[in-house]
């Protein structure tokens, strides 16, 4: 790193180089991490009610059977919610501070377990894209298998210094059948007030 780069604060990007070099690596090879609960009819109904989303494939067993499914189908937009494992168990603390922008102590969607790169305390999702193989039906339990890093772009933004990353996972049933592939964009960063 040159003296000029250090003086302008560009050396922080070098901390991300091991992550950039890891593009293509699977950070969660092996068994799937399953969602906390199976997809069930009542949860589908509660998920759809505030959206006022009407589709007989999500609510009417006769319509779903006529369409060739064993039960009502999960709305495609619910795939993320039903693949997230439980964030808290009885007796555990999920938030250890009441600060306005408090982050959970642990979360299946942040980068706390990232073995490379700088430690970050800020994290948010930027985008999501999902390719479906088939609909998920009530009674199935789904999860994610693998977590492939597709890209890493260090960047300073108005909230802090960090990196935009793109991750890809397979959405699978308990039997291991791939029902979708999901790509999630994230931004992991150190907030400006922590620099």
Tokens of 60: 């009417």
pLDDT at 188: 92
Across 156-176, average pLDDT: 96
Q: Which two structure tokens, joined as six digits, stand for 82? A: 């039903």
Sign of CA dihedral 110, 124, 173, 180: negative
Contact of 157 with 187, CB cutoff 8 Å: yes
Domain interval for residue 139: 3-194
pLDDT digits (tens, 9 = 90+) for 81-100: 899 888 888 888 888 888 88
What SS3 class is residue 47?
helix
Model confidence pLDDT, tens digit, residues 126-142: 999 999 999 999 999 99
Question: HEC states along 74-102?
Answer: CCHHHHHHHHCCCCCCCCCCCCCCCCCCC
Confidence bin at 111 (pLDDT 50/70/90): low
**CATH label of the domain that carries residue 53:** 3.10.129.10
- Listed range (32-36, 106-110, 170-174) with the worst mean pLDDT: 106-110
The dihedral region occupied by 78, where left means phi > 0, alpha psi between -120 and 50, and beta the remainder, is alpha
Domain count, the chain: 1
């Amino acid at each position: 790193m040159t003296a000029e780069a250090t003086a302008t604060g560009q050396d922080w990007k070098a901390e991300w180089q091991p992550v950039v070099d890891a593009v293509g690596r699977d950070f969660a090879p092996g068994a799937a991490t399953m969602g906390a609960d199976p997809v069930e009819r009542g949860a589908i109904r509660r998920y759809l009610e505030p959206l006022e989303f009407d589709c007989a494939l999500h609510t009417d067993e006769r319509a779903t059977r006529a369409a060739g499914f064993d039960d009502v189908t999960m709305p495609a937009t619910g795939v993320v919610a039903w693949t997230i494992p439980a964030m808290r168990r009885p007796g555990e603390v999920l938030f250890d501070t009441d600060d306005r922008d408090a982050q959970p102590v642990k979360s299946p969607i942040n980068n706390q377990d990232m073995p490379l790169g700088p430690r970050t305390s800020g994290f948010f999702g930027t985008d999501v894209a999902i390719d479906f193989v088939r609909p998920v039906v009530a009674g199935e339990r789904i999860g994610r298998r693998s977590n492939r890093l597709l890209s890493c772009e260090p960047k300073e933004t108005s909230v802090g210094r960090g990196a935009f990353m793109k991750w890809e996972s397979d959405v699978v049933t308990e039997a291991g059948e791939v029902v979708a592939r999901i790509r999630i964009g994230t931004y992991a960063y150190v907030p400006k007030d922590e620099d």
